[in-house]
A and B are shown apart, each in its own frame.
Chain A
Amino acid sequence: MITARRLGKRFGDRRVLRGVDLDLERGGFLVVTGANGAGKTTLLRICAGLTAPSEGTIERRARRSELGYLGHEPLVYRELTALENLELYGRLYRVPERRERIGMLLERFGLWEARHERVASYSRGMTQRLALCRVLLHDPGLLVLDEPYSALDEAGAELLDAQLAELHGERTLLVATHDPARIDSLATARLGLAA
């Protein structure tokens, strides 16, 4: 699904990524680890097509409609409600049976009761749950998740565990985390980045 060779990225004089090779097969689960500043986020942004590499090549065999990306930011509008945000993305991704899919995800991630509240009033954990709903909304074939457990409480983390286990084998996953033990049993490949 993703093949990268000698991938590198510079921001001005600062090199944040150097010589990364990556092979992620369809249905694979690649866990990316590394200390702060090792380039995990940059690598995931390159894999998602949000950032162009300065060196090397990358081939992603997935269209934009097949990609689900979770970054450090939830990519939702704070002045809109959870429902309005998901409606917007549902329309842009042309999700079939949009209302039902949105309702199912909000129920699953425990946000149904708060669906008409503005995201600005959400806690960080609730916002992260909404971001996960957004990522899963169009049932993507390739999921690129940057620190998906960030800000989640134990209940939220268990929900995500169950979701990832469900997706395991059926979808291709690229996950960056500081806590690899949590998803180690699901991983089919591991990539450690040095700072």
Chain B
Amino acid sequence: MTYARDVAALARKDLLLELRARDTLPAMVLFVAAVFVVFHFVLPAAPSRLETTGLLWVAILFTALLGLGRAFVPEREQRTMDGLVLAPCDRSAIWLAKSLATLAFLAAAEVVALPLYALFFHRIGGATVLAVVLADLGICAVGTFLGAMAVVTRARDLLLPLLFLPLALPVVVGAVGSSVASAPGRYLGFLALYDLLFGVVCWASFEYVVAE
């Protein structure tokens, strides 16, 4: 219960910071909308479902990357990570709260992105929506963990995509499979397994990322 209260306090702080600064969510929404608009004109008149599904997932992945790159910016710019690390709460609460805040931003961007995709390309089925939910969980868990690692380095802008994209490949495979397969259950199960496995690994090892 105490852990949940710590996570809630930290996540509330991240949402409040975004509400004040508004430098992450608008960028994510504009980016994903711009991608769909551009590809609407670039792709042939009637692109196949397979092609546009790939586009949907690439757009979601890079939109998430945009948010993940900014996740620890307040802590880096204002050097507040020391304050959080010294607090007597479990340090994994910092990761979980940041993951939840990033998840909220990504979900908000997708509320705009998915209808736009349906408008420009193809209707979105229930399996794809479920895949989006599961993929978001994995993307935010792993991306936030890697974001915390990258933020302390000088090459953080380069390092985060280099670390994140290879680890996100299973998410893309599972997500595209869920969207195009006639029986998506296996792919959705794969995404859930990825979330569980990487979620536990990130939760258990975040302590070592923030402690010297």
Contacts and interface: CB of A to CB of B under 8 A. Distances in A.
A76 interface: yes
B54 to A, nearest CB: 38
B39 to A, nearest CB: 35
A48 B86 contact: yes
A63 B87 CA distance: 10
B87 A89 contact: yes
B166 interface: no
A64 B88 CA distance: 5
A124 interface: no
Interface string B72-87: 0010001110111111
Interface in B1-29: 2, 5-6, 9-10, 13, 16-17, 20-21
B51 interface: no
B96 to A, nearest CB: 14
A75 B80 contact: yes
A92 interface: yes
A159 interface: no
A51 interface: yes
A91 B74 CA distance: 19
A71 B17 contact: no
Contacts of A65: 88
Considering residues B5, B83, B84, B89, which has the most beta carbons from chain A within 10 angstroms of its beta carbon? B83
B79 A73 contact: yes
Nearest to B212: A52
A93 interface: yes
Contacts of A155: none
Interface residues of B, number: 23
Nearest to B5: A91
Given A50-B86, A91-B6, A94-B88, A80 B16 contact: yes
A50 B212 contact: yes
A69 B87 CA distance: 10
A25 interface: no
Contacts of B212: 50-52
B87 A79 contact: no
Contacts of B85: 50
A64 B78 contact: no
Contact of A91 (B9, B79, B83): B9
B82 A71 contact: yes
Contacts of B80: 73, 75-77
Given A73-B79, A75-B83, A92 B20 contact: no
A55 interface: no
A117 to B, nearest CB: 12
A71 B80 CA distance: 11
Nearest to B74: A77
A49 B10 CA distance: 22
A75 B20 contact: no
Contacts of A51: 212
A73 B9 contact: no
A195 interface: no
Nearest to A71: B82
Q: What are the 5 closest A-B residue pairs judged by CB atoms, nearest first?
A: A75-B83, A65-B88, A92-B87, A73-B79, A91-B9
